[in-house]
């Protein structure tokens, strides 16, 4: 894999300042393929699962070397261990059946979905926020209004962005979203249950940022999509090229 010219070595020093676990950091490298949406999650074996969607709404799963086509058509995808969720162009919600190897429709209508640690959250066309209740088998509305949502930290880190590009973190004690300084258009979370390490985002100019626990620190380079899990950060640029940074 070839290295990206716009991620120089000094970027790694900044990354390590916001992500202490990256003592053995590597630089961003391009991965073969083209996607418009990407999601990263863990597996029961500890491996990293990476799924994506291209401009034709085809679905792909990364096998360690390249992206392999999976039957179905989606516009957005979310990976949580062996659970893979998706949304199609009609805003229908689907869950991947690992036994059958196909996506099965789930009750609900969403425009965006995020999952981690057994927790699945989503947003509908009216910017209402929902969390999937496994006991009830349906999405239950949560107070708030967002356009983007991200889940990490074994489901204990929920972040979102509203229509004004303001950033919010969900407070599980008060059951409300609390504003965090900054403005972003895209957000991704892959940190531990406690703390804020592993929160990344992009702004309207496609600039990348990593949260250091207090503020979002800009990282040189531009992406249109970003996904995080543990020490693995994946991104897509405006040419739909795919990039990976592993720690």
Q: Is residue 13 part of a domain?
A: no
Please check the confidence at residue 17 and state whether its pLDDT lies above 50: no
pLDDT of residue 47: 78
Q: Is residue 177 part of a domain?
A: yes
Q: Is residue 21 part of a domain?
A: no
Q: Which string of b and e fits 144-170 if b means at least 16 CB within 10 Å?
A: bebbbbbbbbbbbbbbbbbeebbbbbb
- What's the pTM value of the predicted model, to 2 decimals? 0.86
Q: Is residue 9 part of a domain?
A: no
| Nearest CA among 11, 14, 46, 2 for reference residue 221 | 11
Give per-residue pLDDT as tens, 201-231.
999 999 999 998 889 999 887 899 999 987 7
Report the domain count for the chain.
1
Structural domain boundaries enclosing 237:
30-246
Cβ–Cβ < 8 Å for 124, 135 = no
Cα Rg of the chain, angstroms:
17
Q: Is residue 52 part of a domain?
A: yes
Provide the CATH number for the domain around residue 66. 2.120.10.30
Residue keyed to tokens 């207090």: 214
Which of 41-45, 96-100, 186-190, 214-218 has the weakest average pLDDT? Answer: 41-45
Give per-residue pLDDT as tens, 143-182.
999 999 999 988 889 999 999 999 999 999 999 999 999 9
Q: Is residue 103 part of a domain?
A: yes
Q: Find how far residue 247's CA is from the centre of its chain.
A: 17
Q: Is residue 89 part of a domain?
A: yes
Q: Which residue would you say has higher pLDDT here, 246 or 12? A: 246
Q: Is residue 12 part of a domain?
A: no
Helix (H) or strand (E) holding 11: helix 9-18
């Amino acid at each position: 894999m070839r290295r990206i010219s716009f991620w120089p070595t000094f970027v790694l020093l900044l990354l390590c300042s916001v992500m202490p676990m990256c003592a053995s950091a590597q630089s961003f490298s391009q991965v073969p393929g083209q996607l418009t949406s990407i999601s990263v999650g863990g597996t029961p074996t500890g491996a990293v699962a990476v799924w994506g969607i291209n401009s034709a709404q085809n679905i792909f799963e990364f096998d360690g070397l390249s992206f392999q086509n999976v039957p179905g058509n989606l516009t957005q995808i979310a990976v949580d261990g062996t659970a893979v969720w998706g949304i199609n162009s009609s805003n229908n919600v689907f869950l991947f059946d690992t036994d059958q190897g196909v996506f099965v429709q789930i009750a609900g209508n969403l425009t965006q979905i995020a999952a981690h640690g057994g927790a699945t959250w989503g947003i509908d066309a009216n910017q209402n926020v929902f969390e999937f209740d496994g006991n009830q088998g349906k999405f239950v509305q949560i107070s708030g209004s967002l356009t983007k949502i991200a889940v990490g930290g074994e489901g204990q880190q929920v972040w979102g962005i509203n229509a004004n590009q303001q950033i919010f973190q969900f407070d599980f004690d008060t059951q409300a979203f609390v504003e965090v300084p900054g403005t972003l258009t895209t957000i991704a979370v892959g940190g531990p249950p406690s703390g804020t390490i592993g929160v990344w985002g992009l702004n309207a100019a496609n600039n990348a940022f990593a949260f250091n626990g207090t503020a979002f620190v800009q990282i040189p380079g531009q992406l249109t999509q970003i996904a995080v899990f543990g020490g693995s950060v994946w991104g897509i640029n405006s040419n739909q090229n795919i990039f990976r940074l592993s720690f």
